[in-house]
Structure 1
């Protein structure tokens, strides 16, 4: 029971942070803006209709929604007893759910780390 409470809280926190940061980026930056954090790390405002790094952008949103659900189920099946693995997988799951929310509402994902 404790494990499921931890996962639920961690995933919920990540989804809230994910959606809040995407909202902040979307409302405060133009599409072409870039903010340098470090020489190799920038905050940008991009809409991604594809997968990671914009791959498969010609595929339909339905494809990515199905893949997102499959990834969520896969991660849920991987959840283990090790607290570090549990934390990492919960964070991945939270990010996947955040991206699924974006795809269901907007048909694309807000990406902002480059």
Structure 2
């Protein structure tokens, strides 16, 4: 996958993330809940100063530093490998878009807008946003892409 396509995908993730966050911030009050599917899915507006499950809450310097390091690693990874397989390319685009989406929130507001809330049985899952989806799915796809690449290499060497 070409680098420009990865950048476009990252930009799409950022735009969708920022639009959804804008809608939530402009239409809901903090800690307001809108039940979409009872006992399963709600929109619940919070501002998170931490990571998933509020880990590292208030440690903004940590998030700035890790985001810059991760983005540098992704840029190096893209330049070093060049043309990536589709899984790795889509994964990198989604992950970079997710990082930028949350990074924008942290820079502008000192916190991240989260609003997707799921309940499984009696368990409340972490409240998250579109950027978090991009990060999580993206990293999973990068792993799949790297595994596929290694399997192809091994198959080529074996032949």
- TM-score (structure 2 length as normaliser): 0.63
Aligned to 1:104: 107
Match of 1:89 in 2: 92
Cα pair distance change 1:7/1:42, threshold 3 Å: same
Cα RMSD for the two superposed structures: 1.8
Q: Which residue of 1 aligns with 2:23?
A: 24
Equivalent in the alignment of 1:47: 47
Alpha-carbon distance in 2 for matches of 1:41, 1:89: 28
1:78 CA drift (Å): 4.4
- Looking at structure 1, the residues matched to 21 and 67 of structure 2 have their Cα atoms a distance apart, in angstroms, of 18
Tell which structure's C-alpha radius of gyration is larger: 2
Q: How many pairs does the alignment contain?
A: 112
- Which 5+ residue runs of structure 1 have no aligned equivalent? none
Work out the CA distance in 1 between the residues paired with 2:74 and 2:42.
29
Aligned equivalent of 1:7: 6
Higher relative contact order (CA 8 A, sep 6+): 1
Answer with 20-29 or 68-77: which moved more: 68-77
- Quick one: structure 1 residues 5 and 43, their matched pair in 2 at CA, closer, same or farther if it must change by over 3 Å? same
Alpha-carbon distance, 1:27 to partner: 0.6
SS at match of 1:5: helix
Structure 2: runs of 5+ lacking an equivalent: 118-159
- Equivalent-residue separation in structure 1 for 2:70 and 2:36 (angstroms): 30
